[in-house]
Amino acid sequence: VHVDELAALLPPGAVLTDPASVAAYRHDWARDPAAETPAAVVRARSTADVSTVLRWACARAVPVVPRGAGSSLSGGASGVAGGITLSLELMREVTVDPANRLVVAQPGAITADVKAAAAEHGLWYPPDPSSFELSSIGGNVATNAGGLCCVKYGVTADYVLGAEVVLADGTVVRLGGATVKDVAGLPLLKLFVGSEGILGVITEVTLRLLPPVTTSATTVAVFHSVAAAAEAVVAITRRIRPSVVELMDHTTINAVEDAFRMGLDRQSGALVILRSDAPGDAAAAETAVIEAECRAQGAEELYTTTDPDEGDAFMHARRSALPALERLGPLLIEDVGVPLPALPALVAGIGDIAEARATRIALMAHAGDGNTHPVIVHEAGNEDARTRALLAFDDVMALAIGLGGTITGEHGVGRLKASWLSRQLGDDVVLLTKRVKDALDPTGVLNPGVLLR
Ligand SMILES: Cc1cc2nc3c(=O)[nH]c(=O)nc-3n(C[C@H](O)[C@H](O)[C@H](O)COP(=O)(O)OP(=O)(O)OC[C@H]3O[C@@H](n4cnc5c(N)ncnc54)[C@H](O)[C@@H]3O)c2cc1C
């Protein structure tokens, strides 16, 4: 790769090639052992830089990996040997437009900064992946990120009104915008939301904002088993729409306690955190339903607080679950989801897989969405343990598909699950996906190996 040629087309300092810098962009958060070191990293400062990189790469068939903050859990932003990792991390401008109740952000803006900018104008950007203090807004749009509030407020896609996208050949297109209702043309904007960097590079997003809501009550329910907790979730969500329904199993609770000492009950089999943000008396009515259904499923303990700080502390505990589990050893992180009534069968099946493969699987879940993160923990340097963990990883995806579910609810297919996509979608849909990819990126430069193999 003639990186000097590319460097000459870009502002000084945009291209990094020294070994330490490129090595830092080999992995994303998934730490895929198969990740490769890119030939160069370009830190774009403008849409023009992005366009220059893609025009150059497309003409020479050089792979380009778009990268936001690198918090991908599916290997979507990991490096490709001989390729360019195109980082958007320096494009961070955020402008709130209160009159239109929207925010325009450059892709590298951290999700938390977008939320904070909206809050300064008394507005709310709901999507809240647990990684919101790490992840970029462009990465959120590219993965259609979910989070804790999705159960009531939807996923990133529900807030995307417009985007500027640079196509594989360097062409810049603008899709959608400030108009709330707009059906002119095919819904191409939606095509790029969740496209995992394989169709274009997002260089600006326009996001809808809401008036803020206040959480009225947080309930923590302790169960003897994950199965009972899952049954309670199904029963509750059949009747009401809480604003948060998060679950942690025994292993996860103890990992959080070991790492951060948050005062969770170490003896519990499972813990479900539920919140209501219904206004006035409605919150008490929702909480009554939550408590009644938890009791009906044999909850051992129920604790409800109306103190927002105390409620936030429980949310913080849940958000700390993955970093806490990372201390136990190498992880394989699943993201399987099922239709809600199948949630108890999914968690029971995951328990069976852990036993059959003699491997440890911790569980946390955006349970109200039927979206679970079974986390397979194995022993570092133990090849046999890693093999069993990989078999369990496949078993869990097969289980979810068998229950009518998905291999990924929010993290994306990335490189780690690309070989599984046809098992879920079928060959015809994968072929259709390839035709879309070929139409937009005929040379196949954008994020090769992600989503499609
Ligand atoms: C502790 C932790 C908790 C997490 N919790 C959640 C959660 O609750 N919900 C959730 O959905 N995810 C979660 N994630 C996963 C991750 O944070 C999300 O997938 C996030 O959206 C990725 O954003 P990023 O900026 O880090 O993107 P990256 O990791 O840099 O990239 C992710 C993918 O998007 C593509 N991409 C990035 N930027 C662009 C762009 N501008 N244009 C085109 N393509 C682009 C990349 O090529 C890659 O395929 C978590 C991760 C961690 C580490």
With a pLDDT cut of 70, the percent of the chain lying above it is 100
pLDDT digits (tens, 9 = 90+) for 283-320: 999 999 999 999 999 999 999 999 999 999 999 999 99
Choice between 137 and 453, residue whose per-residue pLDDT is larger: 137
Q: Work out which ligand 1 atom sits closest to the CA atom of 140.
A: 21
| Cα distance between residue 193 and residue 59, in whole Å | 26
| Cα distance between residue 8 and residue 15, in whole Å | 9
Tell me how far the alpha carbon of residue 352 lies from the centroid of ligand 1, in angstroms. 30
Query: Which residues touch 165 (CB under 8 Å, ≥6 apart)?
Result: 172, 173, 174, 175, 192, 199, 200, 201, 202, 203
Q: Give the confidence band of 4 by pLDDT, cuts at 50, 70, 90.
A: very high
Q: Give the confidence band of 95 by pLDDT, cuts at 50, 70, 90.
A: very high
Tell me how far the alpha carbon of residue 284 lies from the centroid of ligand 1, in angstroms. 36
Q: Are 299 and 221 in contact (CB under 8 A)?
A: yes
| Cα distance between residue 76 and residue 92, in whole Å | 21
Tell me how far the alpha carbon of residue 295 lies from the centroid of ligand 1, in angstroms. 37
Amino acid of residue 305: T
Which among 355, 344, 343, 342 has a CA at the least distance from the CA of 395? Answer: 355
| Cα distance between residue 70 and residue 68, in whole Å | 6
Given a cut of 90, is residue 68 above it in pLDDT? yes
How high is the pLDDT of residue 65?
Answer: 98
How high is the pLDDT of residue 2?
Answer: 87
Tell me how far the alpha carbon of residue 141 lies from the centroid of ligand 1, in angstroms. 8
| Cα distance between residue 377 and residue 386, in whole Å | 9
Q: Are 108 and 138 in contact (CB under 8 A)?
A: yes
- Ligand 1 pocket, CB under 6 A: 28-29, 65-73, 76-77, 88, 107, 129-131, 135-136, 138-140, 142-143, 145-147, 196-197, 201-202, 322-323, 410-411, 447, 450
Q: Work out which ligand 1 atom sits closest to the CA atom of 155.
A: 11
Rounded mean pLDDT, 237-253: 97
| Cα distance between residue 74 and residue 427, in whole Å | 22
pLDDT digits (tens, 9 = 90+) for 111-146: 999 999 999 999 999 999 999 999 999 999 999 999
Q: For atom 53 of ligand 1, which residue has the closest CA? A: 71
Q: Are 106 and 204 in contact (CB under 8 A)?
A: yes
Average pLDDT over all residues of the chain? 97
Q: Give the confidence band of 447 by pLDDT, cuts at 50, 70, 90.
A: very high
pLDDT digits (tens, 9 = 90+) for 328-354: 999 999 999 999 999 999 999 999 999
Strands (DSSP E) found in 168-291: 172-176, 200-208, 217-223, 244-249, 270-276
pLDDT digits (tens, 9 = 90+) for 145-165: 999 999 999 999 999 999 999
| Alpha carbon distance, N-terminus to C-terminus of the chain | 23
| Cα distance between residue 348 and residue 377, in whole Å | 18
